[in-house]
């Protein structure tokens, strides 16, 4: 069964994470993704540990299902190959610092004039406009500057980044959205568009709640640890054998929680509404934990779940990878080697669409320049 983007060809000039994450998503949706890498070195992420059988696990996690060709874009002969690829591509994705594509002769104006249907997706630290457009950035720098670190971690402790490279991942997601929108628009106009994604912009977009709080109250929110800043109770709680999470986000759920825990708090004016619960959140936590400490996490998760109250365990990644719900949703897939055997595990495609194949395997991770012959044959076939 062909997938949604099986007729779309993507040239991927990106490396490390934000861009490769976007092109992996497009590949999961069926696009042909050709990774154009630097000769000799390739994507920087090829050197990121840990390694298995000489391959980088982080690189493999987001570059399976792609083809690789190494091209020196300063060489006339290699540029001729790249130009032939551009003529057959629907999308070009790049993550150079702004200005590099122009210096190479592949700026948006030149590309659009030569290949009017081509969509160009650019992802960078600060975007293609503004006073600091050429300033270098990494995920942790953007998490710091964009506000994420100001709201992550425990109160009165050092600020910390999120446990995942959320700036890169969000930028990759927004880049994917922009590309899909441009593909849809091209069906009407026949013309490609330029998509400009900045890590800083993407990070700010994720903090809409903090923006609302700051602009309304005049006070920026601080770090609230494991507690939701505007809902109570919604945080971690101690049980007899560890911690688990309860999120009773409205008055009805709170009433059910009180019944389940045999706590006479639903009509207490200190806890009757969410604003009051937020004002008295520390006392509320102590009252709840006085009950939950009397039994195990599994007991309370089962009991609260039966009552329709959102609650769950705090799992490490080894546990997540064995979670029956995640497995049922095919969110753990096998990346195969060239002999069809398991090589790596990777995250499955979270976009479930009716009529689209949702396989539990992925094609191999490409060797650097490992698909040159195949790509050149494809160019020759499509030219004839």
CA-CA distances (angstroms) from residue 70 to 35, 81, 124, 369? 8, 10, 22, 5
CA-CA-CA-CA dihedral for 91, 94, 100, 101, to nearest 10: 0
* Cα distances (Å, whole numbers) of residue 264 to 129, 237, 260, 269, 288: 57, 18, 10, 11, 11
Q: What is the C-alpha separation between 236 and 229, in angstroms, rounded? A: 13
Q: What share of the chain is helix, strand, coil (3-state, %, to 5)?
A: 40, 15, 40
| Three-state secondary structure call for residue 270 | coil
**What are the backbone angles phi and psi of residue 110, rounded to the nearest 5°?**
-65, -45
Task: Give catalytic status of residue 228 as yes or no.
Answer: yes
Task: Indicate the SS3 state at residue 34.
Answer: strand
Helix (H), strand (E) at residue 236: strand 234-239
Given the residues 228, 238, 299, 342, the one annotated as active site: 228
Mark 334-354 as b/e (b = at least 16 C-beta within 10 Å): bbbeeeeeebbebebbeeeee
Cβ atoms within 10 Å of 34's Cβ, excluding its own: 23
First to last CA, the chain: 27
Residues forming the active site = 228
């Amino acid at each position: 069964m062909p997938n949604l983007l099986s007729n779309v060809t993507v040239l991927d000039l990106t490396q490390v994470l934000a861009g490769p994450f976007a092109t992996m998503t497009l590949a999961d949706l069926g696009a042909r993704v050709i990774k154009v890498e630097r000769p000799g070195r390739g994507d920087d992420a090829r050197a990121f540990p840990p390694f298995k059988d000489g391959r980088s696990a982080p690189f493999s996690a987001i570059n399976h299902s792609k083809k690789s060709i190494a091209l020196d874009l300063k060489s006339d002969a290699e540029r001729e190959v790249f130009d032939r690829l551009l003529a057959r591509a629907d999308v070009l994705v790049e993550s150079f610092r702004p200005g590099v594509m122009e210096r190479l002769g592949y700026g948006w104006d030149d590309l659009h004039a030569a290949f009017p249907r081509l969509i160009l997706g650019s992802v960078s630290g600060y975007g293609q406009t503004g006073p600091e457009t050429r300033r270098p950035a990494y995920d942790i720098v953007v998490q710091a500057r964009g506000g994420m670190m100001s709201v992550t971690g425990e109160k009165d402790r050092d600020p910390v980044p999120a446990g995942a490279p959320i700036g890169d991942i969000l930028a990759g997601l927004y880049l994917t959205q922009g590309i899909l929108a441009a593909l849809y628009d091209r069906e009407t106009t026949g013309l490609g568009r330029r998509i400009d994604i900045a890590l800083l912009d993407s990070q700010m977009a994720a903090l809409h709640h903090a923006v609302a709080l700051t602009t309304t109250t005049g006070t920026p929110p601080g770090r609230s640890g494991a507690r939701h800043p505007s809902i109570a109770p919604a945080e971690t709680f101690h049980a007899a054998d560890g911690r688990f999470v309860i999120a009773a986000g409205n008055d009805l759920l709170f009433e059910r929680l009180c019944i389940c825990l045999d706590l006479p708090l639903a009509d207490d004016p200190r806890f009757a509404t969410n604003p009051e619960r937020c004002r008295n959140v520390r006392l509320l936590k102590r009252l709840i934990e006085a009950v939950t400490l009397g039994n195990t996490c599994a007991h309370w998760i089962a009991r609260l779940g039966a009552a329709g109250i959102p609650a769950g365990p705090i799992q490490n990644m080894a546990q997540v990878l064995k979670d029956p719900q995640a497995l049922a949703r095919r969110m753990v897939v096998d990346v195969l080697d060239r002999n069809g055997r398991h090589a790596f595990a990777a995250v499955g495609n979270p976009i479930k669409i009716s009529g689209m194949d949702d396989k539990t395997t992925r094609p191999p991770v490409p060797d650097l320049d490992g698909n040159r012959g195949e790509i050149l044959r494809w160019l020759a076939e499509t030219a004839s």
